């Protein structure tokens, strides 16, 4: 029996199929475009792991209806199971595909957890287990699984990045930094480890350090998939944004952040987030919302993941498109049918309504809705840095609604992590002027000048 490059046995695979399997696993954990190599195997009969991974690749598109494209691969995997004597790990992988297609994410997580426990060198299972935990805000589960693999197998390639990001999402910044650097020692170009360090530096307010490191690393991002390359440039843009280098950020948006796969979910929400952050910083983004809205229009009924849906709604509303109301109606239906999962009803729906109100200039209503929703978002999905968009929109609504005292409180808390941030201190000076505190306003302006 042959094995993949991590040493996991593979049944029924010839050299071509094994190359494709390795490309999928390697591409998944390194965020490289070679993951698409799994689709190169078209000859029948298809080995079980080729069919399973090809089906999972379609599900990773994060698009409603992707299940339809994945189902033929589930059928092919089941056919292989009837033909070949599969290992228990391979049987579990087919079950992962079945459960994921059926929308049984609880079952998917449980089965992936079983695979990782039985085969700790199966980093594809670990990566997808972390992916599903992340989408639910279950960051302890991300770390628990990665630590179990690390304790069992040591420093595997790209494991450091998985450990580091899990630590960071639990606010364990020292541990995250150590794990990321250790991971880069094993896989020097690991983009997920670089990404984890970007989070650490942003949280600590180490703007210059983050800017220098990501700029240096950016020359090695050419072979990354569209999500990873745009997201790393998004993080780099955040450091420029803090420094008030708005023209540079607009250039990065046009040339990097919104320049790859404009149909992909993560690229779309990254673009929404960056335009919203620029506008909250007082920047005129021109016609960019209209362009983005054209690509968001097909998302008018997409309620696959709440973290994505609420940002689609904001982008559509900011682009002045009627599809924003269609998506709000779809979110209302999702909230009604979300039995046992209050995140749609208690967080996603009020958040989306508040975001749309802000996008349409109803800032008083936005303050009320977002004020209720923002504290409840820990299980919405997305990272701390990504979910921070919603707090920024709330802050912008507070300023525009004249809720000066609330805005001052939020801004001073934010200044702990971004003490010299130009947009932050610009807004803070305005707030202190409105509160009749000229000395504090002058101090904020002095921080900008410094």
Contact (Cβ atoms closer than 8 angstroms) between residue 72 and residue 62: no
User: What phi and psi, each to the nearest 5 degrees, are found at residue 224?
Assistant: -80, 155
Tokens of 161: 């990045």
Please give the CATH number for the structural domain made up of 137-224.
Answer: 1.25.40.10
For the cut 70, the answer to whether the pLDDT of residue 338 exceeds it is no
As a whole number, mean pLDDT of residues 27-43 equals 94
- Joined tokens for residue 341: 């999962």
Q: Which helix (H) or strand (E) holds 2?
A: strand 2-3
Write the CB contacts of 125 (distance below 8 Å, at least 6 apart in sequence).
Answer: 93, 96, 112, 115, 116, 119
Q: Are 221 and 244 in contact, with CB atoms under 8 Å apart?
A: no
**pLDDT tens per residue across span 396-444:** 999 999 999 999 999 999 999 999 999 999 999 999 999 999 999 999 9
DSSP 225: -
> What pLDDT sits at residue 340?
62
- Per-residue pLDDT, 118: 98
Distance CA 380, CA 382 (A): 7
Residue 64 has pLDDT above 90, yes or no: no
Among 386, 384, 435, 377, smallest CA distance to 406 is for: 435
CB 261 within 8 A of CB 240: no
pLDDT tens, position by position, 149-204 = 999 999 999 999 999 999 999 999 999 999 999 999 999 999 999 999 999 999 99
Q: What average pLDDT does range 94-111 have in this prediction?
A: 97
Percent of the chain clearing pLDDT 90 (strictly above): 95
Q: What pLDDT is recorded for position 430? A: 97
State the chain's mean pLDDT as an integer: 96
Ramachandran area for residue 7 (φ above 0: left; ψ -120 to 50: alpha; else beta): left
**pLDDT tier at 339 (50, 70, 90 boundaries)?**
low
With a cut of 70, say whether residue 295 has pLDDT above it. yes
Quote the tokens at residue 17: 């199929």
pLDDT score, position 337: 85
pTM: 0.96
């Amino acid at each position: 029996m042959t094995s993949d490059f991590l040493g996991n046995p593979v049944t029924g695979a010839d050299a071509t199929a094994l190359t494709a399997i390795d490309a999928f696993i390697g591409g998944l954990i390194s965020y490289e475009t070679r993951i698409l190599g799994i689709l190169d195997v078209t000859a029948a009969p298809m080995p079980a792991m080729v069919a399973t991974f090809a089906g999972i690749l379609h599900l990773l598109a994060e698009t409603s209806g992707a299940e339809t494209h994945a189902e033929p691969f589930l059928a092919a995997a089941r056919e292989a199971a009837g033909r070949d004597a599969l290992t228990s790990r391979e049987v579990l992988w087919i079950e992962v595909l079945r459960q994921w297609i059926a929308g049984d994410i609880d079952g998917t997580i449980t089965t992936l957890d079983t695979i990782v426990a039985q085969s700790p060198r199966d980093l594809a299972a670990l990566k997808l287990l972390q992916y599903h935990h992340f989408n639910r805000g279950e960051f302890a589960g991300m770390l628990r699984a990665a630590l179990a693999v690390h304790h069992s197998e040591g420093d595997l390639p790209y494991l450091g990045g998985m450990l580091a990001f899990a630590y960071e999402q639990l606010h364990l910044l020292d541990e995250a930094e150590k794990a990321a650097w250790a991971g880069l020692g094993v896989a020097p170009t690991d983009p997920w480890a670089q990404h984890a360090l970007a989070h650490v530096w942003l949280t600590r307010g180490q703007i210059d350090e983050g800017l220098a490191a990501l700029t240096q690393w950016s020359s090695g991002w050419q072979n990354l998939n569209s999500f990873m390359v745009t997201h790393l440039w998004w993080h780099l843009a955040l450091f420029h944004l803090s420094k008030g280098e708005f023209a540079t950020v607009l250039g990065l948006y046009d040339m990097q952040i919104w320049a790859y796969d404009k149909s992909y979910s993560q690229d779309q929400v990254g673009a929404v987030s960056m335009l919203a952050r620029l506008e909250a910083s007082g920047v005129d983004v021109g016609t960019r919302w209209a362009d983005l809205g054209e690509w968001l229009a097909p998302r008018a009924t997409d309620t696959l993941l709440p973290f994505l849906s609420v940002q689609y709604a904001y982008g559509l509303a900011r682009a002045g498109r009627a599809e924003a109301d269609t998506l709000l109606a779809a979110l209302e239906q999702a909230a009604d049918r979300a039995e046992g999962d209050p995140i749609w009803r208690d967080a996603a729906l009020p958040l989306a309504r508040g975001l749309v109100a802000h996008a349409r200039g109803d800032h008083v209503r936005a303050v009320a809705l977002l004020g209720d929703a923002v504290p409840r978002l820990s299980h919405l999905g997305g990272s701390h840095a990504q979910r921070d968009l919603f707090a920024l929109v709330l802050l912008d609504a507070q300023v525009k609604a004249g809720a000066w005292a609330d805005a001052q409180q939020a801004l001073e808390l934010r200044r702990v992590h971004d003490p010299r941030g130009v947009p932050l201190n610009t807004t803070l000076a305005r707030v202190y002027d409105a509160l009749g505190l000229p000395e504090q306003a002058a101090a904020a302006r002095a921080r900008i000048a410094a």
